[in-house]
């Protein structure tokens, strides 16, 4: 009876789980869009996964640091306006903590086990995340010390989420 109850509780958690990837800009290049859609389709069997695409602001050709800061701040305001107080926010930042794939799976499992049912990964635009968004983040995740185009970072994140869900489910990855 206890095992059945544990399985029902686990199934209930799975049904309530929602993981979003919030990013600045639309995926314009077809190969990235196709890869993202494929991973979103694969992820759908593990819970609710969605993308939230926010319009990126045009960046003038000859920008100053002040203009770049204004753009980052405006993009940050858009992101923050879409976040709920109950969201557990994971910001993708170069100086964040690095995980291997099993480590990311364990991290997500810990969050879901303690009741964090709405997890939002945030990816900045070409100028990065605003300091306000980074400050709002509950966790800062780094893929690498290198910088990646935000479309590629989004596909990489979706692939790693798929891998993490397979690991979490005890499936071969």
Q: Which CA distances in Å does 77 have to 10, 16, 83, 101, 126?
A: 35, 27, 10, 31, 16
Query: Rounded distance, CA 31 to CA 155, Å?
Result: 10
Give the pLDDT confidence score for residue 66 in this predicted structure: 92
Instruction: Give pLDDT tens digits for 75-133.
Output: 999 999 999 999 999 999 999 999 999 999 999 999 989 999 899 999 998 889 999 99
Concatenating the DSSP letter of every residue in 22-35 gives EEES---SHHHHHH
23-54 CB burial, b ≥16 within 10 A, e <16: bbbebeeeebeebbeebbebbeebbebebeeb
Residue 170 CB neighbours (<10 A):
6
Instruction: Give pLDDT tens digits for 45-57.
Output: 999 999 999 998 8
Q: Model confidence at 3, in pLDDT bands (50, 70, 90)? A: very low
Check whether 15 has a pLDDT greater than 60.
no
Q: Supply the mean pLDDT for the chain.
A: 89
Model pTM score? 0.88
Q: What's the half-sphere exposure (Cβ side, CA atoms, 13 Å) at 49?
A: 21
């Amino acid at each position: 009876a206890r095992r059945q109850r544990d399985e029902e509780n686990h199934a209930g958690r799975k049904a309530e789980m929602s993981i979003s990837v919030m990013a600045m800009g639309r995926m314009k290049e077809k190969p990235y869009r196709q890869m993202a859609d494929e991973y979103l389709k694969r992820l759908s069997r593990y819970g609710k996964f969605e993308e939230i695409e926010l319009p990126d602001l045009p960046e003038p050709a000859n920008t100053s640091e002040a203009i770049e800061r204004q753009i980052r701040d405006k993009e940050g305001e858009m992101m923050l306006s879409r976040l709920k107080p109950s969201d557990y926010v994971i910001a993708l930042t170069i100086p964040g903590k690095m995980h291997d794939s099993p480590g990311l799976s364990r991290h997500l499992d810990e969050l879901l086990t303690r009741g964090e049912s709405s997890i939002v990964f945030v990816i900045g635009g070409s100028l990065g995340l605003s300091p306000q968004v980074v400050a709002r983040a509950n966790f800062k995740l780094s893929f690498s010390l290198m910088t990646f185009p935000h479309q590629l970072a989004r596909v990489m994140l979706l692939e790693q989420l798929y891998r993490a869900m397979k690991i979490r489910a005890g499936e071969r990855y």
